[in-house]
Amino acid sequence: MRADLIQIGVVGRPHGVRGLVHVHSYAANAAALEAYKVLVDEKGREWSLRWRGADGVAELRDAQGKPLADRTAAQALVNTRLFVPRDVLPEPEEEEFYHADLIGMEAREGDCSLGQVVMVHDYGGGASLELTGGVLVPFTRACVPEIDLKGRVVTIVRPAEVSGEEGRGVGTAKAAGPAA
């Protein structure tokens, strides 16, 4: 898969019998998916999307502009990840990062490598970075004081609950999924 692609959504279950699907958008504004001229899946197939009502129901069209024929065609696409080229997305605001930029970065605490960032979790109460081995670190200014995107390194200061030290303050850094 191309390195410049950022996941913007995923195809969910079919909706009805006419080839419509539920699509979960990772954009700040789900309507943005319709504005992107081309969405690409992990197999390199090109799609376009048109929202068809509430609850994330969409019509997907292939590169030739043909909509999915029926429920069977829609079912075949369940869990298909949809991507856009990085250059069509807006630049993140200061102290915002695309999850894709953080995943794979080396996590360091002083001179010690803690592994890599394998996932960014955000369930609404604040983001956290999952490191190799399942260690979770709150994605705050206090716990992640420095992010070197070019060097692909995040500096970690583990909180007292993890490191056994006295507590530290909470910062304001946040993760941003693909924004539109």
Instruction: Output the domain CATH number for residue 104.
Output: 2.30.30.240
- pLDDT beneath 50, residues of the chain: 165-180
pLDDT of 167? 39
Which pairs from 75-79 meet CB under 8 Å and 24+ separation? 75/13, 75/14, 77/11, 77/21, 78/11, 78/12, 78/13, 78/14, 78/21, 79/10, 79/11, 79/12
pLDDT of 163? 53
Mark whether 17 and 83 lie in a shared domain: yes
pLDDT of 56? 92
Residues 96-111 have pLDDT tens digits of: 888 888 999 999 999 9
Mark whether 75 and 148 lie in a shared domain: no
pLDDT of 162? 55
Mark whether 82 and 112 lie in a shared domain: no
- CA-derived radius of gyration, the chain: 19
The pTM for the full model equals: 0.69
Domain presence at residue 45? yes
Mark whether 61 and 117 lie in a shared domain: no
